[in-house]
Structure 1
Amino acid sequence: MARAHGARAQMALAFETTYGTPPGSGYTRMPFASTTLGAEQPLLNSELLGYGRDPLAPIKDALTADGDVVVPIDANGFGFWLKGAFGAPTTTGTSPGPFTHEFRSGGWLLPSMAIEVAMPEVPRFAMYAGCVVDQVSFQMQRAGLLTATARLVAQGEALAATTGAGSPAALDLLRFGHFNGTVTRNGTALGNLVTAEVTYANNLDRIETIRADGRIDGADPGMAALTGRMEVRFADQVLANQAIAGDPCEIEFGWTLPSGESLTFTIHAVYLPRPRVEVPGPQGIQATFDWQAAVDPALGRMCTVTLVNERETY
């Protein structure tokens, strides 16, 4: 008897035309490291008396479908998750490329996706309809694998013994690494940076209406938030002085491959809190800044993500 094994798991993704309705074709096979995407439906204990000490059968509660997907930050596949988080990009360039895809924060319309997680050896094909990206986060550091975590809210799960994604299109994996990364502040390289964390959240509002199937009616974007953390070796007063003054700065996180593909997160107005600077011992002194971003009045948005690759559309 075949048993499920993570190494055999597959994921396919397609954007929906109608929320909650998986398309019949147009899926792309997506690289991923792990996922908690799934559906659960708890049971409610019976509160009724008069039938003896043994309880009556429980009843089903509302269905919840959500979870995280850990994906590589690469030059092709990551654009699908960016479209889910920010909406459709503005694309410039002519065939055969390169093409520049610009994603902007603050959009009111977020596309929904159908995502199939397949375990072919069981067989178990789980189709998650109405997937909307609630949050995207990543971390920059000196070494290790560069990944991002996409948090999803789905409408529901449909299980089948055969795939509903057909034959997904292949995707060339051109992966960025931490050694490709740079961080700048107001256009100048930010020195003494040890680690950095970035989280963009759509703060989705689930529309929990009364339905016979127990599913939600949708997930609307709320007030967006862009937050993070920077840990720096304390070598100068540049960031501390900015925090004390209360002025914003522009922070840019970027990666570039030797073949020309690039990805840039530009956060236009970053505000820093005044940090506590401690002397923990004889080792180097570090300071941590839990920053927040806000809309830039001149640009009318909080951040811009620019992806340059050979892919024409998303």
Structure 2
Amino acid sequence: MALDVLGGIDATTILDFENEYGVSPGTVNGIQMPFKSNEISAEVAQGEDTTLNGRRDPVEPYDERLDVKGKIAVPMDVYAYGNWLRAGFGIPTKTGTGPYIYTFKVKGLTMPSFLVETGIGGTEYYLYNGCRMSNLSCQVGTQGELTSNIDIVGRDEGYSQAAYDATPTEYTYLPYQNSNATVFMGGVEVGICADISLNIGFGLDEDMFAIGGGGKRADAKPGKMAVTGNLTTFFTNSDNYILGRDKVETSLELRWVRGAHELSVLFPEMQLQRKSPAVTGPKGIRYQQTFNAYYGDDVNNSSVVWTVTNDTDALYGTA
């Protein structure tokens, strides 16, 4: 007898933003998000009850707290990716009348909360409320898919055989590729980068469980961010070594351009690690340094600035 095993081929990931932490909004506005994999899961670990009762048999286990978390791997595309940036940085500032320019920055001491629904087979739906982004990362090179990893921490889980939103918004899928990327350092285009990885940690307090909360997170407050990365270049001279040795402040920007559309991330103030190059063989020397971005006094007033430019108005909410 054949097994009717559900697969990932028709799985869906739906995103919607909450007005109150952990509570689905009164007006449903689901967005169907393209994704590579969705590993969000709710888990209650079982603990061993050590009670002695005169028998060798184990007694009923006890339940630990409900832990909602996981990673979603997503494409960096023209339209949908901006919603993940909204999840991390809030509603952007919009300028332009076509093309439209959406600018995302670190703002204040709060972060949005949102819900994520994982749909499987058109009949099984798992809804996760009270979600916040704990980490955003991506790796840019010269081959392979351009993918961003979104780490999420949530509060609660619900199961249904009916979708959260039967008619979610779905955008045209136009992905950026590694070949669309250009790198700028200190405002000058750099043509010697082999690989760049970016990591933005939002400093969530994931341990906010309170007595009487049913084992669910009471919140996941954002804390001090960490904005870091790795830069690998072909070694042509000691310029980057000197920048790191002398703690020279510079900027780093990546831009992806597809026709009239553009995605960029700017670190207005950053420092490269002091690290001398190593020779590992006869081939061209690849020189890797870590970097740390921060806010000091730059006019952008943010340690990281994401910009989405496309031809569609009112995509990522209104303040």
- TM-score normalised per structure 1: 0.95
Name 1:59's counterpart in structure 2: 62
Aligned residues: 310
Q: Distance in 2 between matches of 1:150 and 1:211?
A: 30
Alignment deviations for residues 150-191 of structure 1 (CA, whole Å, 9 cap, x no partner): 000111110111112221112111211111100001111113
Name 1:11's counterpart in structure 2: 13
The alignment's C-alpha RMSD in Å is 1.3
- TM-score normalised per structure 2: 0.94
Name 1:250's counterpart in structure 2: 251
What's the CA shift for 1:106?
A: 4.6
Name 2:30's counterpart in structure 1: 27
Name 1:75's counterpart in structure 2: 78
What's the CA shift for 1:109?
A: 2.1
1:217 aligns with 2:223: no
Write the letter of the residue equivalent to 1:147: T
Name 1:274's counterpart in structure 2: 274
What's the CA shift for 1:117?
A: 0.5
Write the letter of the residue equivalent to 1:257: R
What's the CA shift for 1:253?
A: 0.6
What's the CA shift for 1:107?
A: 3.3
Write the letter of the residue equivalent to 1:98: P
Displaced runs of 4+ in structure 1, greater than 6 A? none
Write the letter of the residue equivalent to 1:160: S
Structure 2 gaps of 5+ residues are: none
Q: Distance in 2 between matches of 1:41 and 1:27?
A: 27
Name 2:161's counterpart in structure 1: 161
Alignment deviations for residues 260-297 of structure 1 (CA, whole Å, 9 cap, x no partner): 11011010111111113211121111211011111131
Give the 3 Å change call, closer, same or farther, for CA 14–271 of structure 1 in structure 2: same
Is the contact made by 2:268 and 2:298 (CA closer than 8 Å) also made in structure 1? no
Q: Distance in 1 between matches of 2:86 and 2:100?
A: 15
Name 2:178's counterpart in structure 1: 178
Q: Distance in 2 between matches of 1:176 and 1:73?
A: 6
1:188 aligns with 2:188: yes
Give the 3-state SS of the residue equivalent to 1:80 in structure 2.
helix
Q: Distance in 1 between matches of 2:117 and 2:145?
A: 25
Give the 3-state SS of the residue equivalent to 1:220 in structure 2.
coil
Name 2:128's counterpart in structure 1: 128
What's the CA shift for 1:2?
A: 3.1
Is the contact made by 2:245 and 2:275 (CA closer than 8 Å) also made in structure 1? no
Give the 3-state SS of the residue equivalent to 2:169 in structure 1.
coil
1:43 aligns with 2:46: yes
Q: Distance in 2 between matches of 1:116 and 1:210?
A: 27
Q: Distance in 1 between matches of 2:181 and 2:209?
A: 41
Q: Distance in 2 between matches of 1:124 and 1:156?
A: 17
Name 2:87's counterpart in structure 1: 84
Listed as ranges, the matches of 1:92-107 within 5 Å are 92-94=95-97, 97-107=98-108
Q: Distance in 2 between matches of 1:296 and 1:252?
A: 17
Q: Distance in 2 between matches of 1:82 and 1:306?
A: 9
Is the contact made by 1:106 and 1:302 (CA closer than 8 Å) also made in structure 2? no
Is the contact made by 1:185 and 1:251 (CA closer than 8 Å) also made in structure 2? yes
Structure 1 gaps of 5+ residues are: none
Q: Distance in 2 between matches of 1:294 and 1:198?
A: 13
Is the contact made by 2:269 and 2:298 (CA closer than 8 Å) also made in structure 1? no
